[in-house]
Amino acid sequence: MEILNDAASGNDRLICTCHGVCAGEARKAIQEGAATVKACFRALGRWPKCGNCVVPLRDLLAEAQDAKTRVEEDTRVGWTREV
């Protein structure tokens, strides 16, 4: 899945105001293997300050996990699609 930086994708939405991290940056970190909030911060080279971004990061992780699960289910029944 390609990370798009347009308003429709929501990737330009600021999720960490302390460090200026947008959703697209976090999604990229998740795509590249970050599977936890801590791993996302580590991949982004940052560390939580106030913690207000933990919930939006968890939402992005859940979104990625849901997409992965859908692909796995489709693959199991012989369907393929891009997410």
Please report, as ranges, the residues that interact with ligand FES according to CB under 6 A: 16-19, 48-53
CB of 48 to ligand FES, least distance (A): 4
- Minimum CB distance to ligand FES smaller for 29 or for 53: 53
- Minimum CB distance to ligand FES smaller for 44 or for 71: 44
The count of other CB atoms within 10 Å of the CB of residue 19 is: 16
Question: What is the chain's Cα-based Rg?
Answer: 14
Distances in whole angstroms, Cα of residue 56 to Cα of each of 12, 14, 15, 75, 81:
13, 10, 6, 29, 26
- Minimum CB distance to ligand FES smaller for 52 or for 75: 52
